[in-house]
Amino acid sequence: MKTQVCIIGAGPAGLLLGHLLRAEGIDCIVLERRAPEYVLSRIRAGVLERITVSLMERLGLDARLKTEGLPHDGFNLADGQRLIRIDVAGLTGKHVVVYGQTELTRDLMDAREERGLEVVYEAADVELHDIDGDAPWVDYTHGGTRHRVDARFIVGCDGFHGPSRKAILPRGKEYSREYPFGWLGVLADVPPCNHELIYSHHDRGFALASMRSATRSRYYIDVPLTERVEDWPDERFWDELTTRLPDEAAARVVRGPALEKSIAPLRSYVFAPMGHGSLLLCGDAAHIVPPTGAKGLNLATSDVHYAADALTAFFKAGDAGAVAGYSARALSRVWKAERFSWSLTRLMHRFPEDGSFERAMQVAELDYIASSRAAQTSIAENYVGLPV
């Protein structure tokens, strides 16, 4: 088939881009390796910046987000028993919205028929071809048949393990840091222990108290990379979590069976430039952040915002320069979010290689944040999302 844009990957980035292009009357197709149920089974963070909410509003797909999303005016850093509230709304005039990424993906998936967005699920063995020129093409296998898609642009929204970045790896530079721990996450149908998020730094390690709704909580603790989920029966998880949270919050933790339990490694990664020739990269295909700053989804959506802008300028205003400027524009925001996520990870976790001086620096930084409006404002403006 022939189209204007071929999008690889139907996670939040691919679906959001597809809807934005269709809303501009630009022809596109989305090729997704997995089945819809599998895509929805992936449990991911759920703190939405303004850019993410506004794109859903622009598409008119924010009905559920409006009724089920939880606006949050602040969050907390805890250091032992001390709770440092970052008054995001008071310091920036903006707020974040807590709404599961799975739900955002579901809203985008449910609207594909009515919006005329073609998504091919279970598209296997996607391969990219001729991306150096202006007539790239993709082929894939579906229903036992090999299919070909000719497009003017290909956009890789295929996540960290997809084929798009790999197709241009020699054309760019990788920047990477792997952290010496992972996050063990539990989803449970119990009321949250606190109405706002708590990121806790305890001598035993990191903990995060988050939520999906007033009746569903999401908790994390950091664990060595050698740990396996089987090593963590529910009771052991709840004991460790409540040890690491400040006593007042820990006393409000309601225990319940884990609906989902998994260990995710933490990594900072950027591939630059975010594209080559007729291929653009968006979201996890181009960069990864540790979940500490809740930036993963929001960086994917700001990439998509820039990509949709550039492709619309190309197809509707004949502005070829817009696509050429995509990578630099997206990377400018990506690097600042990478810095924030890395610095908050550095502040809130115990690193095996750290000595007493490094620990003293963490305590001093938390002391500084607790006592400085300027320090809290810096954290707040990064957490709520830097300007797009």
Q: Does 46 bind ligand APR (CB under 6 A)?
A: no
Q: What is the 3-state secondary structure (H, E, C) of 13-40?
A: HHHHHHHHHHHCCCCEEEECCCCHHHHH
Task: Give the residue, chosen from 17, 20, 28, 39, that forms a contact with ligand APR under the rule CB under 6 A.
Answer: 39
Check if the beta carbon of residue 365 is closer than 8 Å to that of residue 347: yes
Nearer to ligand PHB, 103 or 150 (CB): 103
Q: 187 touches which of ligand APR, ligand PHB, none (CB within 5 to 8 A by kind)?
A: none
Q: What kind and span of H or E run contains 89?
A: helix 88-92
Min dist. Cβ of residue 286 to ligand APR (A):
8
Q: Does 296 bind ligand APR (CB under 6 A)?
A: yes
Check if the beta carbon of residue 108 is closer than 8 Å to that of residue 64: no
**Closest residue to ligand PHB: CB criterion:** 210
Q: Does 300 bind ligand APR (CB under 6 A)?
A: yes
Take residue 344 and report the two structure tokens written for it.
Answer: 């908050």
Q: Would you call 199 a catalytic residue per the annotation?
A: yes
**How many residues in the shown chain lie near ligand APR by CB under 6 A?**
28
Catalytic residue among 19, 201, 291, 326: 291
Distances (CA, A) of 176 to 156, 171, 344: 19, 16, 17
Min dist. Cβ of residue 211 to ligand PHB (A):
7
Q: 79 touches which of ligand APR, ligand PHB, none (CB within 5 to 8 A by kind)?
A: none
Cis peptide before 273 (omega within 30 of 0): yes
User: Which residues are bridge partners to 206 per DSSP?
Assistant: 201
What is the binding site for ligand PHB (CB under 6 A)? 45-47, 197, 210, 218, 291-292, 294
Q: 205 touches which of ligand PHB, ligand APR, none (CB within 5 to 8 A by kind)?
A: none
Question: CB under 8 Å, gap of 24 or more: what pairs does 250-258 form?
Answer: 250/193, 252/193, 252/194, 253/190, 253/193, 253/209, 253/219, 254/190, 254/191, 254/193, 254/217, 255/188, 255/190, 256/188, 256/189, 256/190, 257/188, 258/186, 258/187, 258/188, 258/234
Q: What kind and span of H or E run contains 207?
A: strand 205-211
Q: Does 341 bind ligand APR (CB under 6 A)?
A: no
Q: Would you call 287 a catalytic residue per the annotation?
A: no
Catalytic residue among 295, 305, 306, 349: 295
Q: 14 touches which of ligand APR, ligand PHB, none (CB within 5 to 8 A by kind)?
A: ligand APR
Nearer to ligand APR, 157 or 307 (CB): 157
Check if the beta carbon of residue 198 is closer than 8 Å to that of residue 246: yes
Q: Would you call 295 a catalytic residue per the annotation?
A: yes
Catalytic residue among 140, 269, 306, 383: 383
Q: Would you call 291 a catalytic residue per the annotation?
A: yes
Task: Give the residue, chosen from 36, 90, 163, 277, that forms a contact with ligand APR under the rule CB under 6 A.
Answer: 163
Q: Would you call 191 a catalytic residue per the annotation?
A: no
